Structure 1
Amino acid sequence: MLGRPRVLRLRTSRFGLLAAGGCLVLAAALAVPIEQAVTARQPGREVTVRQLAAGKMLVASRRLADPNFTETVLLLIEYRTDGAAGLVLTRQSELPLARALPDLAPVAPLAMRPFVGGPVAHETVLALSRTACPGCRMVTRGVHLVNDGDMLRQRLASGDDDRTLRVYTGYAGWSAGQLAAEVREDAWRVVPGDAAAVFDGEPETLWRRMLARAESVLADRGTGGEPSGADVVDGLR
């Protein structure tokens, strides 16, 4: 069984966590893309930026035992030489948004529930939008990162629901080279970003469905039923 991945607590001075409109958000400093490959080597294989980049999705392998990430699917919202950040797509809160985040109560849809985006900085609030919005960075096609409190309020007030907008508290973070090493150690399957998966209507079953599809694709390539995480699943849709 794989052990517990180290969780990076991003420092304010490094990634610029800031307050905007009453919500803590990730500053634009996190949006700087990496230009070179980050590799984790093993004989005959290396994990490069082609596999790991903002917009890719991580599907936890069956061997990943850390309760923070067991049976999860994540979307990478940033991948840089000095670290990476992602959001867990599969763990929805039992509390309605208005109770979980009282500052958003005046504009929060009654039925909307936030997601626990990861074990780092639960006071941080981010959102993923299916449609473009001013100041929102596209993470992958059909998925835009909302990291401004005022814009999030506008989107909620305009009638967006969880089919087009997902709100997250906290996020997952990795130090330089750490995620590549975890992929090399078969902690994760790496698959292309997919807006339909991000806004899936049954997030509680998303991990099982995506893992089965990833294993099926890689098994068809002759890699066996438990393929290496370092083999990116470019054909998964």
Structure 2
Amino acid sequence: MTEMELAGRLLVATPQLKGSTFDSAVILMLSHADDGALGVILNRPSDVAVTRLLPKWDTLASEPAVVFQGGPVGTDSALALVHIDGPGEPLGVRRVGGEVGILDLDTPTEVVEPAVIGLRVFAGYAGWAPDQLDDEVGEGSWYLVDAEPRDTFRTDAPDLWRTVLRRQHGDLALMASFPDDPTMN
């Protein structure tokens, strides 16, 4: 797989990852190259308000305006994604896929504000060593599906795992009804 194949797409945790760090995770892939892969978990909001950590970005923060737990790596750093309004790449933004881009948080807010219609902040990220993600996909730990722009900025983020699976075709859509505890089925 190449960066062009995964950047901007979603990794959806399979039931095989139940009980792990990535249990029911939906990850937006930001990069995938020979030196590894990087993404953020979209469906883990925290209780920490964006205004508490990054007050200058509060006015652009999408609801819920909280910091999301982006993954287990680098949890003491922040990464922001923006919903880009229009074509091109605004100054301070690198487009990841579709209408979503990574924001350089050192960019002045007044430069970014006219070009975006939403922002989501993540503490940490999910990372993989070279070939690690390819191996995990190959062994059935992840479903690889197309992302929709609204996936990154949903107000009902905790329900994203089921929402994304439900819109898939065939047997994959049935996974949306997979019980949280299969032993209770």
The interval holding the TM-score normalised by the smaller chain is 0.7 to 0.9
Contact 1:61 1:211 in 2 (8 A): no
The structure with the largest strand share of the pair is 2
Q: Is residue 136 of structure 1 aligned with residue 96 of structure 2?
A: no
Question: Within 2, Cα distance between the matches of 1:149 and 1:51?
Answer: 24
Contact 1:75 1:86 in 2 (8 A): yes
- How high is the sequence identity, in percent, across the aligned residues? 32
The residue identity in structure 1 corresponding to 2:82 is S
Number of the residue aligned with 2:109: 154
* CA displacement at 1:155 relative to structure 2: 6.2
Question: Within 1, Cα distance between the matches of 2:42 and 2:111?
Answer: 19
Q: Map of 1:95-110 to 2, 5 A cutoff?
A: 95-99=48-52, 101=53, 104-109=54-59
Larger radius of gyration: 1
Q: Is residue 219 of structure 1 aligned with residue 171 of structure 2?
A: yes
Question: Within 1, Cα distance between the matches of 2:115 and 2:66?
Answer: 13
Question: For 1:204-232, what per-residue CA distance to the aligned partner results, in whole angstroms no more than 9, with x for missing partners?
Answer: 10111212333xx1428xxx967xxxxxx
* CA displacement at 1:136 relative to structure 2: 1.1
Q: Map of 1:5-154 to 2, 5 A cutoff?
A: 48-49=1-2, 52-99=5-52, 101=53, 104-109=54-59, 112-131=65-84, 132-146=89-103, 148-151=104-107, 154=109
Question: Within 1, Cα distance between the matches of 2:67 and 2:83?
Answer: 16
The structure with the largest helix share of the pair is 2
* CA displacement at 1:107 relative to structure 2: 4.8
Is the alpha carbon distance of 1:137 and 1:159 closer, same or farther for their aligned partners in structure 2, counting shifts above 3 Å?
A: closer
Is the alpha carbon distance of 1:91 and 1:159 closer, same or farther for their aligned partners in structure 2, counting shifts above 3 Å?
A: farther
* CA displacement at 1:125 relative to structure 2: 1.1
SS at match of 2:16: coil
Number of the residue aligned with 1:43: none
* CA displacement at 1:51 relative to structure 2: 8.7
Greater Cα offset, 192-201 or 79-88? 192-201
Q: Which runs of 5+ in 2 are unaligned?
A: 176-185
Is the alpha carbon distance of 1:50 and 1:127 closer, same or farther for their aligned partners in structure 2, counting shifts above 3 Å?
A: closer
Question: Within 2, Cα distance between the matches of 1:97 and 1:83?
Answer: 29
The residue identity in structure 1 corresponding to 2:58 is A
Is the alpha carbon distance of 1:155 and 1:66 closer, same or farther for their aligned partners in structure 2, counting shifts above 3 Å?
A: farther
Contact 2:80 2:105 in 1 (8 A): no
1:191 to 139, 145, 149: 145
Is the alpha carbon distance of 1:193 and 1:137 closer, same or farther for their aligned partners in structure 2, counting shifts above 3 Å?
A: same
TM-score by length of 1: 0.62
Contact 1:56 1:192 in 2 (8 A): yes
Question: Within 2, Cα distance between the matches of 1:62 and 1:156?
Answer: 43
